[in-house]
Chain A
Amino acid sequence: MPLWERNGRGRSGLKDFAVIQENEVVTLLLSLGVAIFIAQNRSRLASLPYHRFVVGSFLTLLVAHILTILEGFWYGEILNFVEHICYSLSVLQLAAWTWLVMGKGVRES
Chain B
Amino acid sequence: MNRFVGAIDVVTAFACITTVVILARYWRRRLQKDVKVALGMLLVVMVFHYGSNVLEWCGITDALDPIEDYVEILEPALWGGFFYIFLRGLAERRLRASEERYRTLVDNLPQKIFLKDANSVFVSCNKNFAADLSIDAEDISGKNDHDYYPSELADKYVADDARIMACGRTMELDEQNVAHGQTHTVHVVKTPVKDRDGKVVGILGIFWDITDRKRAEEERKSLEAQVQHAQKLESLGVLAGGIAHDFNNLLLAILGNADLALMDMAPEAPARRNVGEIKKASQRAAELSSQMLAYSGKGRFIVEALDLSAMVEEMTHMLKVSISKKAILKYNFSKNLPAIEADATQVRQVIMNLITNASEAIGDRSGAISISTGAMEADRAYLQETYLDEDLPEGLYVCLEVADTGCGMSEETQAKLFDPFFTTKFTGRGLGMAAVLGIIRGHRGAIRIRSKFGEGTTITVLFPAIRSEASGPADEGQADDGQVDEAWKCSGTVLLVDDEETVLAIGKRMLQRLGLTVLIARDGREGVDVFREHQDEIACVVLDMIMPHMDGEEAFGELRRISSDVPVIMSSGYDEERVTRRFADKDLAGFIQKPYEFQELRNAMRSVLGD
Residues on A facing B (Cβ under 8 Å): 9, 11-14, 21, 23-24, 26-27, 30-31, 33-34, 37-38, 41, 44-45, 47-48, 58, 61-62, 65, 77-78, 80-81, 84-85, 87-88, 91-92, 94-95, 98-99, 101-103, 105, 107-108
Contact = CB atoms under 8 A, between A and B. Distances in A.
B65 A91 contact: no
A13 B80 contact: no
A26 to B, nearest CB: 5
Given A9-B65, A103-B26, A61 B75 contact: yes
Contacts of A12: 2, 5-6, 56-57
B28 to A, nearest CB: 9
A108 B8 contact: no
Contacts, number: 124
28 contacts: A12-B2, A12-B5, A12-B6, A12-B56, A14-B5, A23-B69, A26-B73, A31-B79, A34-B77, A37-B80, A37-B83, A37-B84, A41-B83, A41-B87, A58-B79, A61-B75, A87-B12, A88-B8, A88-B11, A88-B15, A91-B19, A91-B46, A94-B19, A94-B43, A101-B31, A102-B23, A103-B22, A108-B30
A77 B3 CA distance: 12
B83 A38 contact: yes
B80 A34 contact: yes
Contacts of A91: 12, 15-16, 19, 46, 50
Given A13-B53, A13-B57, A103-B22, 18 more contacts: A23-B72, A30-B76, A30-B80, A31-B76, A47-B90, A65-B76, A80-B5, A87-B8, A91-B16, A92-B12, A94-B43, A94-B46, A95-B22, A98-B22, A98-B23, A98-B39, A101-B31, A102-B26
Nearest to A68: B72
Contacts of A14: 2, 5
B13 to A, nearest CB: 8
Nearest to B32: A108
Contacts of A101: 29, 31
A81 B76 contact: no
B62 A13 contact: yes
A89 to B, nearest CB: 9
A87 B8 CA distance: 9
Contact of B1 (A65, A81, A94): A81
A48 B53 CA distance: 31
B18 interface: yes
B333 interface: no
A95 B17 CA distance: 9
Interface of B: 1-2, 4-6, 8-9, 11-12, 15-16, 18-19, 22-23, 25-26, 29-32, 39, 43, 46, 50, 53, 56-57, 59, 62, 65, 69-70, 72-73, 75-77, 79-80, 83-84, 86-87, 90-91
Chain B CB count within 10 A is highest, among A27, A78, A80, A87, for A87
A9 B91 CA distance: 46
Contacts of B53: 13
A98 B19 CA distance: 7
Contacts of A84: 5, 8-9, 12
A36 B566 CA distance: 123
B7 to A, nearest CB: 9
Contacts of A98: 19, 22-23, 39
Contacts of B59: 11
Contacts of A23: 69-70, 72-73
Contacts of B23: 98, 102
A20 to B, nearest CB: 12
Contacts of B15: 88, 91-92, 94-95
B169 to A, nearest CB: 40
Closest 8 CB pairs of A and B: A13-B56, A30-B76, A102-B26, A31-B76, A34-B80, A12-B2, A95-B19, A88-B12
Given A87-B12, A91-B16, A45 B86 contact: yes
A54 B517 CA distance: 130
Contacts of A99: 19, 22
A31 B78 CA distance: 10
A13 B32 CA distance: 38
Given A11-B59, A12-B6, A44 B76 contact: no
Contact of B29 (A24, A87, A92, A102): A102
Given A11-B59, A30-B76, A44 B87 contact: yes
A48 B76 CA distance: 19
Contacts of A44: 87, 90-91
A45 B83 contact: yes
A9 B90 CA distance: 44
B535 to A, nearest CB: 111
Nearest to B57: A13
Given A30-B73, A61-B75, A45 B12 contact: no
Given A23-B72, A95-B22, A13 B65 contact: yes
A102 to B, nearest CB: 4
Nearest to B11: A88
B29 A105 contact: yes
A21 B70 CA distance: 11
A102 B31 CA distance: 7
Contacts of B87: 41, 44-45
A38 B82 CA distance: 11
Contacts of A37: 80, 83-84
A45 B88 CA distance: 11
B100 to A, nearest CB: 16
Nearest to B84: A37
Contacts of B86: 45, 48
A78 B69 CA distance: 21
A27 B77 CA distance: 8
B50 to A, nearest CB: 7
Nearest to B56: A13
A77 B1 contact: yes
A87 to B, nearest CB: 5
A105 B29 CA distance: 6
A78 B5 CA distance: 10
Contacts of B16: 91, 95
A34 to B, nearest CB: 4
Contacts of B69: 21, 23
A93 to B, nearest CB: 9
Contacts of A87: 8-9, 12, 50
